Amino acid sequence: MSDASELPDSQEEEEVSLEPEDQSDDSSGEEAAGDTEMDFLRNLFSSTLGLGTTEKVLDDLTLEGVAQYIKSGKCKNILCMVGAGISTSAGIPDFRSPGTGLYANLQKYNLPHPEAIFQIDYFKKHPEPFFALAKELYPGQFKPTICHYFMKMLKDKGLLKRCYTQNIDTLERVAGLEGDDLIEAHGTFYTSHCVSFCCRQEYNLDWMKEKIFSDDIPRCDKCSSLVKPDIVFFGESLPVRFFTSMKMDFPRCDLLIVMGTSLQVQPFAGLVGRVSKSCPRLLINMEKAGQADPLFGLLGFGGGMDFDSDKAYRDVAHISTCDEGCLALADLLGWKVELEEMVKQDHAKIDSQDQKEKASEDSKAAAKTSSASVAPEPEKKEE
């Protein structure tokens, strides 16, 4: 927790910082102890009194069952929880997860250990590796995927309560989710701030991009302190909005759609247990994830996913890419043509903007070279 200025005065939230995956088991136990206790009591009361019981909302634990439920009109507050898997088809590498080859690439930076590159204390002393990596991984184009547009479509149809994303690539914003629609749990590259407590000057993506690509370590124009993209590093707290919104959103959720995440980073992963007991949960992912720990399952808390047991009654796993899963669901809802059209039109718009930008950069570059070639024209030597 490096930044007290981001917290509200009445600091009622637990400070829960982002943990690397291998520590997630430990941190889940520590997660906002007060809340967990309340959830536990709530669950205990509701099961004792028969409130909020395991009512079966879906006729079928399939994508068809989910589509039917959405079409029934009873499902008005959809929450999406998304991770790196929704952006891989956009060519954006999974920034944090080991096994993507990313960590293997870090050897040249002489880090004490690979995660150091995302650790706030290390960054403040040695910002160079992070910015070198940011340059290497900077997406050539910010083009959202079918999955991103599916969420935009949920929004347009008045069904999306909010999207909770772990991604920092800003593609949700590019697809048209904005401000209130979005909780960027692990922060975003979209904005940056001066790290100095007394300054906190904000910078935008263009400013940061220019610094990154000119191999400058970004420093504040006002106070010369480091400037850091607003992504949450290990050792930093999650944005306050994450905690305040989650308390309002999850108990009221009618359908939780989890996409492209293996649900291993806390406290994000624990969100699946915060919806009501009857709320259906759809996972669209390349593998099953978020299943209940058998031990905690016996003890009655946890709230992990149960796709396969005899007692399964609300969790649906659709094993596919996020794009395929969203297209299939859109098809069942009768939205497929509309979704494909939205993707086509928006991608065309992005392409034409890119071309315009490129053309103006090219003409700037051309102007430079031509003026350069005009001005110091080498004198012609008479032979």
The residues that touch Zn ion, with contacts defined as CB under 5 A, are 194, 196, 199, 201, 220, 222-223, 225
Using DSSP's 3-state secondary structure scheme, residue 313 falls into: coil
Q: Looking at beta carbons only, is 220 or 265 nearer to Zn ion?
A: 220
70 appears as a binding residue in the annotation: no
3-state secondary structure of 190: strand
Cα–Cα dist 13/35, whole Å = 9
Structure tokens at 104: 């293997």
Q: Could you give the 3-state DSSP secondary structure of residue 11?
A: coil
CB of 121 to Zn ion, least distance (A): 19
**CB-based contacts of 95: which residues, under 8 Å, 6+ apart?**
84, 102, 137, 168, 169
Question: How near is the Cβ of 201 to Zn ion at its closest, in Å?
Answer: 5
User: Is 46 known to sit in a ligand binding site?
Assistant: no
Give the 3-state secondary structure of 46-74: HHHHCCCCCCCCCCCCCHHHHHHHHHCCC
CB of 3 to Zn ion, least distance (A): 13
**Least distance to Zn ion from the beta carbon of 193, Å?**
8
Distance between CA 21 and CA 258 in Å, rounded?
A: 18
CB-based contacts of 218: which residues, under 8 Å, 6+ apart? 131, 192, 203, 207, 208, 211, 212, 226, 227, 228
Distance, in Å, from the CA atom of 370 to the CA atom of 321, rounded to the nearest integer, reads 49
342 is in an annotated binding site: no
* CA angle 163–168–171, rounded 5-degree value: 65
* Closer to Zn ion by Cβ: residue 92 or 194: 194
163 is in an annotated binding site: no
To the question of whether residue 167 is assigned a binding role by annotation, the answer is: yes
Dihedral angle computed from the Cα positions of residues 289, 295, 299 and 302, in that order, rounded to the nearest 10 degrees: -20
Name the active-site residue from 113, 126, 148, 186: 186
Please indicate if the annotation marks 241 as binding a ligand. no
Query: Would you say 370 is a known binding-site residue?
Result: no
Taking the complex as a whole, the smallest distance from the CB of residue 150 to Zn ion amounts, in Å, to 39
322-333 vs 336-374: helix crossing angle, rounded to 10: 130
Q: Report the residue number, 100 or 201, with the smaller CB distance to Zn ion.
A: 201
Which residue's CB is nearer to Zn ion, number 4 or number 374? 4
For Zn ion, which is the closer residue by CB, 46 or 201? 201
- Has 186 been annotated as catalytic? yes
Q: Record the tokens describing residue 258, joined without a space.
A: 């989890």
Contacts of 193 (CB under 8 A, 6+ apart): 200, 201, 202, 203, 227, 228, 230
- 224/360 with CB nearer Zn ion: 224
> Least distance to Zn ion from the beta carbon of 154, Å?
39
> Residues marked as binding?
84-88, 94-96, 166-169, 194, 199, 220, 223, 261-262, 285-287, 322
> Residues marked as binding for Zn(2+)?
194, 199, 220, 223
> Residues marked as binding for NAD(+)?
84-88, 94-96, 166-169, 261-262, 285-287, 322
Residues labelled as active-site residues? 186
